[in-house]
Amino acid sequence: MSYPIHLSRTERLSTLAGVTPHVRPEFEALVEEAKARGMRPFIVSVLRSCEEQKGTASKARGCRSWHLLGRAVDLQLQSNRGRIDDREPYEELGRWWESHGGVWGGDWETTYPRGIPGYEAAGPGDVVHFQWTPEYTARVPDSVCDDSDCQGSVNRFWEEDSGRAPSTTIARTAPSPLSRPVSRRVRGASLAPLVMTGLVIAGAVMLLKGK
């Protein structure tokens, strides 16, 4: 298989058709997981050409973005109430993704594209960026790319990488859909550690008084 030049720009950027075939199940699991958590995931950027990469606000230079190599997906989240401006839902999904071996851009120190809804408020980091590269380093290794021949490097990597069997790393347990909106659920979740701390302090005070 060679680099999917037959795909239209829309297909490459806003569907999972452009990710490397054997890692597609992982990204499908990610989208399903977001839905199961009551979020509405929107795919905003997947497989970029070298030319398109130059036009992004990404700090990745030359071919050093996994978006060029079919291993990264940018997901924007919405809740039932509309656009999500909080970091928490991204972080929740990002931690889940990491627990299965993925890389979440929310941990990165980076500047992020302006004009993407939710981005300014959800920072720091590239919160919409989800990457599946367990066999590689989080950043594209220099050996993969020759900057003087960006698209050539990308095509060669793609050819080598896409010959593998489908991945089944993430075995989904299909949690039941949540009825409450994400924003409310997040608020409740963020209170839990406070409540626990309060209980522990109360318990300690009672113990001290008992002596």
- Interaction site with Zn ion (CB under 5 A): 72, 74, 129
Nearer to Zn ion, 26 or 74 (CB): 74
Nearer to Zn ion, 16 or 178 (CB): 16
Residue among 76, 73, 94 nearest 40 (CA):
76
Element (H, E) at 24: helix 24-36
Task: Please state the closest distance from residue 131 (CB atom) to Zn ion, in A.
Answer: 7
Q: If you ran DSSP here, which 8-state letter would residue 61 be given?
A: -
Nearer to Zn ion, 28 or 183 (CB): 28
Query: What's the CA angle centered on 173, arms 170 and 179, to 5 degrees?
Result: 125
Task: Please state the closest distance from residue 128 (CB atom) to Zn ion, in A.
Answer: 6
Helix (H, G, I), strand (E, B) or coil at 85: coil
Task: Please state the closest distance from residue 38 (CB atom) to Zn ion, in A.
Answer: 23
Helix axes 24-36, 88-99, angle to 10 degrees: 140
Using Cβ positions, the residue closest to Zn ion within the complex turns out to be 129
Residue among 11, 16, 152 nearest 73 (CA):
16
The per-residue DSSP string of 155-171 comes to HHHHHHHTTSPPP----
Nearer to Zn ion, 78 or 183 (CB): 78
Task: Please state the closest distance from residue 1 (CB atom) to Zn ion, in A.
Answer: 23
CA-to-CA distance for 22 and 177, rounded, in angstroms?
Answer: 27
Task: Please state the closest distance from residue 90 (CB atom) to Zn ion, in A.
Answer: 12
Task: Please state the closest distance from residue 74 (CB atom) to Zn ion, in A.
Answer: 4
CA-to-CA distance for 19 and 124, rounded, in angstroms?
Answer: 26
Q: Return the CA Rg of the chain.
A: 20
Q: If you ran DSSP here, which 8-state letter would residue 43 be given?
A: E
Nearer to Zn ion, 3 or 104 (CB): 104
Nearer to Zn ion, 101 or 181 (CB): 101
